[in-house]
Amino acid sequence: MKARMSEILAPEFEKRRKANFSESNKPNTMLQWVWDDSTEKDRTDEHQSMIQILATVPSTYTVAFAATQALFDLAARPEYIPIIREEFESVCDSCEEKRLTKEAFGKMTKLDSFLKESQRITPLALVSFERKTLENIDLADGTHIPKGSHIAAPSYHIGLDESHFSSPETFDGLRFHNLQQAEFERTGKPSTKHQYVTVNESSLHFGYGLQACPGRWFAAIVLKLLLGLMVTEFDVKLMDKGEGRPKSEIDRFFIYPDSTKMVVLRKREDV
């Protein structure tokens, strides 16, 4: 894969070696951002290509898995389809020429809530915030973590902890929308505390702190666009209702949607 990526991107890297871009005409692309942030030693085709692979591959399967899990949740709980459909269509209608903007996606609070609830119950992995200690660490409670230890946060089990969420085993697609509304009624100010992209002690699926996933805002937009267009154009249901929502598969720390299960998409007659 690295050799093929190097072959594809080599002309772009060569262009950057020869070009003398000013700030006004410099390409505003990830390729350029990485190039600018690299030392001369790291501006080889192989190194630059590997960075692009490391950035691209994880974002591909993570968004695909999240979309599949959300689609399974939607098909298993069709009562949310008209709610999400109405919100998506309303936001689209409010945009000039129905051109969705970043701000428009921020108004889709019910769809955002549904995605976050889907992530809470079926995230990408059992753990997150994986780290390797660079030195010995002694915690306040006396726990000793030796240098070189691999540590992680139990994000999946935190999401199912009743000290963080009421009725944690129950899927409530509007859980976070309602929490946002309650926060607004209490403070009188809009809050981002319960948004899909927000990271805090009870929501660690995107990591935490300065090292939290930088692509989560883009992922949120892709997922909202995908599910929003899907429910606008189609009715969604499970292939076999009797089996219920497809169960996920766990392999080591990773949670995979069942690739053998299918949903039915039927074109809506009134669109």
Above pLDDT 70, what percent of the chain?
100
Q: Are 109 and 180 in contact (CB under 8 A)?
A: yes
pTM, to two decimals = 0.86
Task: Write down the number of H helices and E strands in the chain.
Answer: 9, 8
Q: 107 lies in a domain?
A: yes
State both tokens at 69.
């899990």
C-alpha–C-alpha distance, residues 185 and 193, integer Å = 14
Whole-Å CA distances, 76 to 73, 178, 194, 257, 268 = 5, 21, 24, 14, 18
pLDDT band of 271, cuts 50, 70, 90: low
Mark residue 241 as left, alpha or beta (left: phi above 0; alpha: psi -120 to 50; beta: remaining): alpha
Examine the pLDDT at 242 and tell me if it is beyond 90.
no
Q: What is the CA radius of gyration of the chain?
A: 22
Q: Count how many domains the chain has.
A: 1
Mean pLDDT throughout 238-251? 92
Here the CATH number for the domain that contains residue 159 is 1.10.630.10
Look up residue 173 and give its DSSP letter. T
Examine the pLDDT at 270 and tell me if it is beyond 80.
no
Q: 15 lies in a domain?
A: no
Q: 113 lies in a domain?
A: yes
pLDDT band of 58, cuts 50, 70, 90: confident
Q: 14 lies in a domain?
A: no
H/E stretch holding 249 reads: strand 249-251
Q: 213 lies in a domain?
A: yes
Confirm or deny that 213 is annotated as ligand binding: yes
Q: 6 lies in a domain?
A: no
71-96: pLDDT as tens digits = 999 999 999 999 999 999 999 999 98
C-alpha–C-alpha distance, residues 81 and 89, integer Å = 12
Cα angle 240, 244, 248; round to 5: 105
Q: What stretches of 19-148 show up as alpha helix (H) in DSSP?
A: 30-37, 45-76, 81-94, 102-106, 109-121
Q: 10 lies in a domain?
A: no
Q: Please identify which residue in the block is written with the tokens 């002309």.
A: 11
3-state percent breakdown (helix, strand, coil) of the chain, nearest 5: 50, 10, 35
91-120: pLDDT as tens digits = 999 998 888 999 999 999 999 999 999 999
Q: 16 lies in a domain?
A: no
Residue closest to 114 by CA, chosen among 191, 176, 202: 176
Residue 143: give the domain boundaries.
57-267
